[in-house]
Amino acid sequence: MDFQGKKLINDPNAVVTEFIEGLVETYPGLQYLDGFPEVKVVLRADVSASTYDKVAIISGGGSGHEPAHAGFVGEGMLTAAICGDVFASPTVDAILAGIRAVTGPKGCLLIVTNYTGDRLNFGLAAEQAKSEGYDIKTVIVGDDCALPPPRGIAGRRGLAGTILVLKVLPTSFTLLKTDIALKYQDIEASGLLSDPFRSFLKEVAGAAAAAGLSLADVAAEAKRASEVVGTMGVALSVCTLPGQATSDRLGPGKMELGLGIHGEPGADVADIQPVDVIVSHVLKQILSPETNYVPITRGNRVVLMINGLGATPLMELMIASGKAVPKLQLEHGLAVDRVYTGSFMTSLDMAGFSISIMKADQTILQFLDAPTRAPAWPVGVDGSHPPARIPVPLPPVRSTKSEDALGRPLQLNQVGQTLEAAIEAAANAVIDLRDSLNEWDSKAGDGDCGSTMYKGAAAILEDMRNYPLNDVAETVNEIGSSIGRVMGGTSGIIYKIFCKAAYAQMKASTQTVEKRLAEALEAAISAVSKYGGANAGYRTLLDALIPASAVLKERLDAGDNPVTAFLLSSEAALAGAESTIHMQAQAGRSTYISGEILASVPDPGAMAAAAWYRAAALAVKDKYQAS
């Protein structure tokens, strides 16, 4: 039986913004953009795009993993962190705001954990930033070693190894100065330098350090680091999302092996074992020559990170560290050069830990040891900078276009009235389904599908008073804007892509309204498939929309009444969504969940799509019968 989780919070919907406010009060080197609640960006207080002459490093993702990512903002690590809602990817607008705030002429590197929503949102933001003239590169980190390949199109999840990748980047004057100083000391120790040449060499070293490395060089270092780190997690409990019930999915005496960081089920459930046994199993999994996830072999040097998942006492983490080091040395023949123990990337209040192992060389060790002012990295730093409580203004968008605002017409024509009824019915259907979607998603994902979809539906109902309802294409475009403003995670970016593609197709078409809508649905499905990688049978919302599109086109081509065609296609959408209960996931977080668990629930994204599509069709039918 689930029970209400206890949390020391105010409003469950404001936990991220209130966390950020407390963070910048605590660490005076950090600041945030004045864009709450949609734009939640933490950045270095000493950096602005107009003056920053180094490569900007930006990472981020859903909140709930603190101190990641905001706690690793500071000289020597991140320039900015983009915070989404709890376990939901940040929006494209928030990512763009962060890019604009800190990116100077040297460009920006985006470090993205390998989750579909993060890849899509950061990817679309990168493309938009490039169109605005910014120099952008992206590196995806997937360090999960829990599940054997292949993992469909989803690939390996990004876990705590991402934090090691962030630390080993040559991102600042301090790091470069350390590198050059070491080389200078080696030459100085040789005793071969004359005084004039010594002075000249010091000037060259200083100039090189001040110049900084190029974006291409920093991106190459990030990619290299991401390829030599592996992680696996173990949990004793399920995390509790703010304002939601705590699941007792595990039950007494059980633990999960190979889980992610969003509360999704692990690869396996087993009886709780002594930490000796657990550590041995995890190390063997990470270093397995069969999967060959990390290129580490006997005789290599490595770095070890023991990462708490949120509710694990430091005592237990230290016990795990104390057992892991000799096992790596004696059983696996590895030299352990550095050990980091603490909470780096958590999962709210989950009890458990993950182990990350990174292959080390002198360059990696040098960057790990280099000074940083990121508050969550385990190195003492000087916090003498006075706190700045006034948030930094949002940077302006680089655009020379000024589009006329489109508002609600003074009088709705028949198309406008029908569209209004359909949108209202569709949004309310999603709102009514919130709890069921969350329940299904708690077994197939991270438990927030209903809450995420609810935000989008509520925003649509609020914004609808200003939609240009007599123009179908422009209204669809405005729906995409409403969704993009409030919906994070994979669902938000998928529906934004869906609406933008539908809008573009309708603007280019000269067919009747019914044919334009059918073409737009087909184009939107193609765009979602292109950018998300999913197709029919992958256990996603497309399993509802693809059959709906096929039936709609078939019935319209056969000359059926458009309302009848719409109704029949909505029945196909519902049947397609219900059929997902028999599918093994090949996209998204459900990829990591066993077929046995998935067989008990339909895909929540597909059910949500079928619900709004069916509600819209019924509303159109009622509207035409009444007229």
Q: Which residues are known catalytic residues?
A: 262
CA torsion angle 215 220 223 224 (round to 10): -150
Measured in Å, how far apart are the chain's first and last C-alpha atoms?
50
| Pairwise CA distance, residues 188 & 533, whole Å | 55
Burial class (CB in 10 A: 0-12, 13-18, 19+), 186: exposed
Contact 295, 359 (CB under 8 A): yes
**Based on C-alpha coordinates, what's the Rg of the chain?**
26
The phi and psi torsions of 86 (rounded to 5 degrees) equal -60, 120
What are the two backbone dihedrals, phi and then psi, of residue 344, each rounded to the nearest 5 degrees?
Answer: -115, -45
Sheet strands side by side (includes 136-141): 30-32, 41-44, 80-86, 56-63, 108-113, 136-141
| Phi, then psi, of 244 in degrees rounded to 5 | -120, 170
For residue 535, the one-letter residue type is N
Q: How far, in Å, CA of 74 to CA of 333, rounded?
A: 35
